[in-house]
Amino acid sequence: MSRTFEPAARVAAAALETFMQSALARCEVDEASCLAVARALVIASRMGTDSHGLRLLPHYVRAVQGGRIHPRPAMRFTRRLAGTGYLDADDGFGHLAGYTAIDHAIAMADEVGIGAVAVGRSSHFGAAGCYALEAAERGYVGLAVCNADALVSLHHGQGPFHGTNPIAFSAPVPGQSPYLLDMATSSIPWNRVQQYAAIGRELPPNVVVDAAGRLTTDAALAASLLPLGGADFGFKGAGLAGMVEVLSATLTGMVHGFRMLPMGGEDMSTPRGVGHFFLVMRPDAFVEREVFDRGMLAYLADLRAQPALAGEEVLAPGDREWRCQANRDAEGIPLDSANVAAYAELAERLSIAPLI
């Protein structure tokens, strides 16, 4: 059974964002990239996804200082058809590539109702939900997917083949926070395994295996994630991961995850060539906007009104995240002891004001 851990400290979102921007600026990262990375990481942590939020900053610093990530990329967008385009991210931060691609996709959707952007020569972009959410907050339906290095076994496979290959989908809801689905196609994200290992927390069952392929709940022994669906129904997660691979790697001309350099490997000088894919749709390109808005409200009202099991609650995708965000905005974003130590070391090494 997992133990409950009290946070070692709490910080305001604004203070965390300022610290992140300062740390990256010390690494000669351009302003646009600093803003994009800090924005995405803080959004993720505000919504409770620390594994794709504040915990990633030390890694990004190592990657940009090592040369893996271009601190001042010259990203280039090419519009190929009325509603499609390609963004060459110039080995820059995936966060800037993601927000830039969404901007281009929205511009095309404004013209022709739909905009799709394939992104190549990019890097890790944090939480996929940040980019789908950006579309929804501006009134559009958004989809974001990304491939990653091999950390997830195939169904009945002996070793890792796919990445966690996230899928994020968001839609606007009038007068409410957007509908937001942000999920890995693995049982859990690999960053969560690393986070639990750092604080000695036990993993849930049926989500990882050790080097011998045996199920384990010890994060320190985890060698591969299981695909969504676990040992019995992992063909579903493996199939979804393959779909993401086609959209993010094949459609962008990048290598697929099995041949990609590992995110956490020793080589911090060679760009990884990550691919992303983004789709934005303007609701009134398909149906009158008031019809779409009314349908979203009715669907979510019906969903949330369904009877729940004893002691449980029926939630729509995003509900848990918005509650977490409200709580963390009020009380501060929690840092565990490993995060506190990592941020203190970062501040000292970069000669910037400490976060805490």
Average pLDDT over residues 116-133: 98
Of 39-53, 123-137, 182-196, the one with minimum mean pLDDT is 182-196
Mean pLDDT of the chain: 95
Question: CA 304, CA 10: separation in Å to the nearest integer?
Answer: 31
Residue 190 pLDDT grade (very low, low, confident, very high; cuts 50, 70, 90): confident
Residue 330 has pLDDT above 90, yes or no: yes
**pLDDT attached to residue 75:** 98
Q: What pLDDT, in 10s, does the model give residues 287-310?
A: 999 999 999 999 999 999 999 999
Q: Which residues contact 82 (CB under 8 A, 6 or more apart)?
A: 108, 111, 112
**pLDDT attached to residue 2:** 41
Domain definitions of the chain by residue range: 9-290+323-350
Average pLDDT over residues 163-175: 97
Smallest Cα–Cα separation from 125: which of 167, 94, 102, 164? 94
Residue 3 has pLDDT above 70, yes or no: no
**pLDDT attached to residue 1:** 37
**pLDDT attached to residue 199:** 84
Residue 319 has pLDDT above 70, yes or no: yes
Provide the token pair at 12: 């305001």
Question: CA 75, CA 122: separation in Å to the nearest integer?
Answer: 10
Residue 60 has pLDDT above 80, yes or no: yes
Residue 122 has pLDDT above 80, yes or no: yes
Average pLDDT over residues 11-26: 98
Question: CA 350, CA 179: separation in Å to the nearest integer?
Answer: 39
Residue 195 pLDDT grade (very low, low, confident, very high; cuts 50, 70, 90): confident
Q: In the beta sheet, which residues pair with residue 8?
A: none
Average pLDDT over residues 135-156: 96
Residue 4 pLDDT grade (very low, low, confident, very high; cuts 50, 70, 90): low
Burial readout 222-249 (b: 16 or more C-beta within 10 A, e: otherwise) = bbbbbbbbbbeebeebbebbbebbebbb
**pLDDT attached to residue 51:** 86
Higher-confidence residue of 159 and 131: namely 131
Average pLDDT over residues 250-259: 97
**pLDDT attached to residue 119:** 98
Residue 5 pLDDT grade (very low, low, confident, very high; cuts 50, 70, 90): low
Q: What pLDDT, in 10s, does the model give residues 156-166?
A: 888 899 999 99
Provide the residue type at 147 as one letter: N
Q: Which residues contact 17 (CB under 8 A, 6 or more apart)?
A: 38, 39, 42
The fold for domain 9-290+323-350 equals Ribosomal Protein S8; Chain: A, domain 1 (3.30.1370)
Higher-confidence residue of 212 and 116: namely 116
Average pLDDT over residues 272-289: 98
- Helical H segments across the chain, by residue range: 13-26, 31-46, 57-66, 94-112, 129-137, 190-199, 230-245, 289-304, 319-331, 337-350
**pLDDT attached to residue 143:** 99
Residue 142 has pLDDT above 70, yes or no: yes
